[in-house]
Every structure is written in structure tokens, then in C-alpha cells.
Amino acid sequence: MSKHILLHALALILLLWASTFSLHRASATLIAGLGLEAGSLKLPKIQQCAGSIMAVPDCLNSIIFSALSLNPQQVGPTCCQAFLQIDQSCWPKLFILNPTFPSSLKDCCVGIQNSPPKVPSLPLPLPPPPPSPCSDGDDDGYIEDGS
């Protein structure tokens, strides 16, 4: 895993963690420790940008893992739908270190949404039951002797 990808994931995790829990003092201390000004990151904007993916369980994890592995196909349809709700102007705020990944993820997600739904295969009909051993085939319930 390249250092560039790892830094991108770390930055995304830190920004979303800080904005999700609204720990302004903790995030300000953390941001100051990184040498950044808290006002320059606009944490509430990041929270607004990521709101749709934060509302879907495990979507953020899926997107982070997908970004780390550079494999957008790992994001499921529900998470893709949430990702597509993010305005493109938010992408640079969320994907600071890998600005090309969101367009790859978007292409993949649009493809998922445009693909026809998978139709479950229908079970084959059961064959008719065999005739009863007490039947001669005329449905009268009596076995007639051939004599």
C-alpha cells in the first residue's frame, strides 16, 4: 500500500471523525498538531458533504477500503446510491489526497445503478405425483379387476 493512499485514508478518517462527533476542542487540538488551521477545513461543510454516506451503515468503511485498494467495485449498491448524492463540489474536501478516485467511484456506481436488477431464477415446477398404487387410472377410487 503506498504512502500516498495511506495518508489519504488517514486524512479522510480524521476529518469525518472530527466532523461526525463535533468534538471541536479535540479536533482543534488535533488539527493544530497537524499544523493546520481549524477554520480552513470547514468541518461542518465536510459533515454536510459526507452526510449521505454516514447515514448508510458501513458505507464509510466500504468507501475507505475501496479507496485504499483503488478498487471502486467493492462499494455496494446502497452505498453507491448514497455516494452519488454527494455534490461533486464536495469531492475535493473528502478526497484530499486522491482527487481522481471519486470520479472512478462515480463511474462504477452509475454502472451499478444502470444495470438491470438481478432476477432470481424461478424454481422449476414440481412434476405431477405418481399415480396411487390403489388406482387404476379412472379416478373412481376402485381397482377394477381386468376380468
pLDDT in tens, 77-91: 999 999 999 988 888
Instruction: Provide the angle, in degrees to the nearest 10, between the axes of the packed helices 77-84 and 43-54.
Output: 150
3-51 confidence digits (pLDDT tens): 666 666 666 666 555 554 443 444 444 444 444 444 455 555 777 888 8
51-61 confidence digits (pLDDT tens): 889 899 999 89
pLDDT at 146 over 60: no
d(CA 76, CA 78): 6
Distances (CA, A) of 92 to 3, 13, 86, 95, 138: 19, 15, 11, 5, 79
Helices vs. strands in the chain: H and E counts, helices first: 8, 0
